[in-house]
């Protein structure tokens, strides 16, 4: 039973090892990957320019023209220009990995930038939600606080109420004054009509 369990453990460990790519073979050559990546990006940028295309076209035309027109003693690459084909093949063989390496570095930078943008957007969203909650709290706390508009409305209501009371008082005092004057006039008339007793 123990042997079966060991065999299963070995199989599982082998599967785990197969699920991950093996590490590269160390040949004892040490280099700076960052510096090599920068060089590859520089070469890839150079290969992707119109200047390089024009320069390569001029070199190929000059090569073919010289080997076609020059004398037999000066020709170094006769038709079908095998040396030129070999040079262009070597250039393509080195250019393709360099361009792929530059693209991988750019993809890593884009991935890091996307992750950074995602973190910033999450932080901004969290700050916006926090600000919205704070504003709602402030709004709820300010709903019970008396504002200047409330004071103005209360003052206007009190002023109008006092004016109405003053008008009622003025009207009431005017009527009482009129009634007093009428009462005084009646008493004066009665005094005039009352006969004076003879002594």
Instruction: Give residue-wise pLDDT tens across range 5-38.
Output: 666 656 555 555 555 555 555 666 677 778 878 8
Task: Determine contact, residues 73/80, Cβ cutoff 8 Å.
Answer: no
* Cα separations in angstroms, 33 against 38, 39, 156: 9, 10, 80
Q: Is residue 188 included in any domain, yes or no? A: no
Q: Is residue 107 included in any domain, yes or no? A: yes
- 111 and 170 housed in the same domain: no
Helix residue ranges per DSSP H, 78-147: 82-142
- Can you give the pLDDT at residue 199? 43
Single out the residue in 97, 115, 133 at which a domain terminates: 115
User: 52-65: per-residue pLDDT in tens?
Assistant: 999 999 999 999 99
Cα 109 from Cα 114, distance rounded (Å): 9
Q: Is residue 3 included in any domain, yes or no? A: no
User: 79-127: per-residue pLDDT in tens?
Assistant: 888 899 999 999 999 888 888 888 888 898 999 999 999 999 999 999 9
- 37 and 84 housed in the same domain: yes
- 37 and 101 housed in the same domain: yes
Single out the residue in 73, 92, 115 at which a domain terminates: 115
- Can you give the pLDDT at residue 71? 79
Residues of the domain holding 78: 32-115
Cis omega (within 30 of 0) for bond into 80:
yes
- Can you give the pLDDT at residue 19? 57
Task: Determine contact, residues 92/78, Cβ cutoff 8 Å.
Answer: no
- 160 and 94 housed in the same domain: no
- Can you give the pLDDT at residue 130? 92
Cα 103 from Cα 195, distance rounded (Å): 135
Cα 98 from Cα 110, distance rounded (Å): 18
- Can you give the pLDDT at residue 43? 85
Q: Is residue 45 included in any domain, yes or no? A: yes
Domain tally for the chain? 2
- 107 and 48 housed in the same domain: yes
Q: Give the pLDDT band (50/70/90) at residue 153.
A: confident
**Does the pLDDT value for residue 192 go beyond 70?**
no
Q: Is residue 27 included in any domain, yes or no? A: no
Q: Is residue 138 included in any domain, yes or no? A: no
User: 161-188: per-residue pLDDT in tens?
Assistant: 888 888 888 876 666 555 555 555 555 5
pTM above 0.75, yes or no: no
Single out the residue in 115, 141, 164 at which a domain terminates: 115
Q: Is residue 16 included in any domain, yes or no? A: no
- 164 and 107 housed in the same domain: no
- 110 and 55 housed in the same domain: yes
- 159 and 104 housed in the same domain: no
- 158 and 100 housed in the same domain: no
Q: Is residue 75 included in any domain, yes or no? A: yes
């Amino acid at each position: 039973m123990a042997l079966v369990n060991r065999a299963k453990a070995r199989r599982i460990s082998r599967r785990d090892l197969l699920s991950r790519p093996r590490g590269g073979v160390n040949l004892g050559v040490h280099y700076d990957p960052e510096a090599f990546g920068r060089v590859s990006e520089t070469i890839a940028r150079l290969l992707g320019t119109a200047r390089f295309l024009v320069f390569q076209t001029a070199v190929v035309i000059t090569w073919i023209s010289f080997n076609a027109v020059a004398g037999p003693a000066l020709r170094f690459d006769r038709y079908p220009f095998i040396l030129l084909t070999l040079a262009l093949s070597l250039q393509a063989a080195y250019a393709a990995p360099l361009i792929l390496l530059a693209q991988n570095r750019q993809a890593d930078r884009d991935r890091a930038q996307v992750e950074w943008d995602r973190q910033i957007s999450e932080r901004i969203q969290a700050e916006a939600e926090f600000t919205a909650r704070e504003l709602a709290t402030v709004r709820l706390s300010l709903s019970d606080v008396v504002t200047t508009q409330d004071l103005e409305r209360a003052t206007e209501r009190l002023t109008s109420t006092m004016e109405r009371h003053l008008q009622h008082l003025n009207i009431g005092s005017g009527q009482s004054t009129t009634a007093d004057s009428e009462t005084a006039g009646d008493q004066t008339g009665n005094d005039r009509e009352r006969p004076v007793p003879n002594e």
